Amino acid sequence: MKSLVFLLGMLAIVTTVQCKITVADKGKPIANKEEYLKGINDKRRTHAKKAQVPNMNKLVWDDYLATQVEMHDLTCNWKTCRESRRDGDDHTEKFYERHTKSYWGDNKRQDLVADYKNYFMSELEDLTPGQQKIGCYQLSITDDGKMDNGTDIGYGVLNMATRCFLAPEGSGDSWKVPRGEPGSACPDGFVNDDGLCAPKAKSSENSGSSGSSGSSGSAEKDKESGSKEEGNTESSGQPSKMSGVVTSLVMMVVLKFM
């Protein structure tokens, strides 16, 4: 019985192991916000047309979100915003591409929504349909691809040069909308802009650069309710294939003891 309890404890530990990322203490602002934003929206538009996403919003720049990134303020993350790590090296970009393809198809949509609630979703963070605002800051980020215990997860070292926050979605529920003509399922107050849902009063790429007073107020509440990250080492939230393998082995041993 003691052996069984020990193995169950190990199972609980294994399933929660995640790797660490290292974030630079200092960085610099995005040099050309309008051009940078246009590149992200072009990518979202291309994906919306390719994947038949009917509710892909056109992002506007938000200076307060960029400031949160600069200040390492993660209080909104997983609540009213999501983190994106961008501008990776060749290896990282190829990994992101493979990761996105692994969720392609309607039969993978349920897995996408479920995993979105638990893990950092690489390139899919930039492509989440329901996001409306983005703010970025150039900060070098390294994911060493290893668990806390040193076990190699298998995707190698990932290096990114930019960190962003996208708001207001933290849950990924906008992925639940069935496929359809791009721009055909825009929310109230948005219009179809060549496949993207653009705000009626802010249809240009660089509009709303400072964010509305309402959004700033919401962000301030997030800031008050939480605290800034303590250091420059964080949990990446990247799912570990190794955890699944070890979990299966542990379960086999558990069954043997029962």
3-state secondary structure 114-141: HHHCCCCCHHHHCCCCCCCEEEEEECCE
Q: Is 6 domain-assigned?
A: no
Helix (H) or strand (E) holding 198: strand 196-199
pLDDT of residue 233: 52
For 87, the domain range is 31-173
Q: Is 21 domain-assigned?
A: no
Q: Is 228 domain-assigned?
A: no
CATH number of domain containing 156: 3.40.33
Q: Is 244 domain-assigned?
A: no
Sign of the dihedral through C-alpha 34, 62, 196, 93: positive
Beta carbons of 94 and 22 less than 8 angstroms apart: no
Mean pLDDT of the chain: 79
**Structure token pair of residue 222:** 């997030």
pLDDT of residue 198: 97
Q: Is 225 domain-assigned?
A: no
pLDDT of residue 201: 74
Out of 80-84, 99-103, 250-254, which region has the weakest mean confidence (pLDDT)? 250-254
- pTM given for the model: 0.73
Q: Is 161 domain-assigned?
A: yes
Cβ-based neighbours of 160, under 8 Å, separated by 6 or more:
85, 86, 87, 88, 92, 140, 141, 142, 143
Q: Is 19 domain-assigned?
A: no
**DSSP helix, strand, coil percent of the chain (3-state; round to 5):** 40, 20, 40
Structural domains in the chain (count): 1
- pLDDT tens track for 205-231: 444 444 444 444 444 444 444 434 433
**Structure token pair of residue 11:** 């199972």
Q: Is 64 domain-assigned?
A: yes
